[in-house]
Amino acid sequence: MIKFGKCCSLADAPQAAADGFDYFETTVAEALMPDKGEEAWQENKLRLRDIELPLYACNGFLPGTMRLTGPNARPEQALDYAEGACRRADEIGCKFIVFGSGGARNVPGDFTKPGERPDVERGRDQFAEFCAGLAERISGCRVTVVIEPLCPNESNIINYVWQAMQIVKDVDSPRMEVLADLYHMIQGRETAESIVAAGPHLRHCHIAMRGTRAYPGDGPAFEFAPYFEALAKIGYAGGISCECGWPLREGQTISDAHRLALATLRELAGQE
């Protein structure tokens, strides 16, 4: 069965647990602290172990200051940071690290100015080289890094699941797989067929309502139906994280919104 989680802070995880989520997902910086020393990390491990809800995945992988593309790319610093995060994820049993990191991967340049157009082909190759290097470094780890396609208005490379799949196939490592964010897929008009084509390489998902980026259930959810049908077709049994806002209507509590989101997701997945 598909598991449903919430992207939230450590402080908000207990409420997510009380309202019925299966797991939570938070940022690499907050949970894994790759830029902090061992003493701070050991303290944070204790804090994580006190939270009843499992930490299933981490997002916000690399800071935007760690350039992966363009003439000023400095991948070695990013590789050290990423490897440290992955090794700490293993220590606490976190299964996935989401590799979106638009600020780090976006190719510098300006499409609107002649002579300054970003070299997206070279940028894509630089990103793929980084993924291959990281996969080699973490070959002995258990955590899986999942490449997150971001819709075209948020990233100028890796906008679609099929593009992430090209990199995954080139890297050819069980440590580097793909994520499908249904919000980005719908915003970018990518069909559910990309999920079917990804098959077993699809290891994690995100979801939010088109346009508003609110939680599923805060409006009609019919647009998600073909994507859930595709997930069923490939026998997907991983997680779907609500990476979204939680607007509250008059008289509504956050628990009400949580339960509405979960009811919507379970109905879409046929788990009512």
pLDDT tens digits, residue range 137-157? 999 999 999 999 999 999 999
| Record: fold of 3-268 | TIM Barrel (3.20.20)
Chain-centroid distance, C-alpha 130: 17
Residues 70-119: pLDDT tens digits? 999 989 999 999 999 999 999 999 999 999 999 999 999 876 777 788 89
The position carrying tokens 């003439």 is 71
What is d(CA 158, CA 125) in angstroms, rounded to the nearest whole number?
A: 11
Could you tell me the two tokens for 148? 């997150």
Nearest of 55, 72, 160 to residue 119 by alpha carbon: 72
Contact 232, 225 (CB under 8 A): no
What is d(CA 272, CA 264) in angstroms, rounded to the nearest whole number?
A: 9
Nearest 5 degrees, angle CA 139-CA 143-CA 149?
100
Phi-psi domain of 152 (left: phi exceeds 0; alpha: psi -120 through 50; beta: other): alpha
Q: What residue spans define the domains of the chain?
A: 3-268
Give the torsion sign (CA, 134, 65, 212, 24).
positive
User: pLDDT tens digits, the chain, 272 residues: what are they?
Assistant: 999 999 999 999 999 999 999 999 999 999 999 999 999 999 999 999 999 999 999 999 999 999 999 999 989 999 999 999 999 999 999 999 999 999 999 999 876 777 788 899 999 999 999 999 999 999 999 999 999 999 999 999 999 999 999 999 999 999 999 999 999 999 999 999 999 999 999 999 999 999 999 999 999 999 999 999 999 999 999 999 999 999 999 999 999 999 999 999 999 999 97
What is d(CA 93, CA 30) in angstroms, rounded to the nearest whole number?
A: 16
DSSP classification of residue 224? G
Could you tell me the two tokens for 33? 């602290």
Torsion angles phi and psi, residue 181, rounded to 5: -100, 110
Contact 195, 231 (CB under 8 A): yes
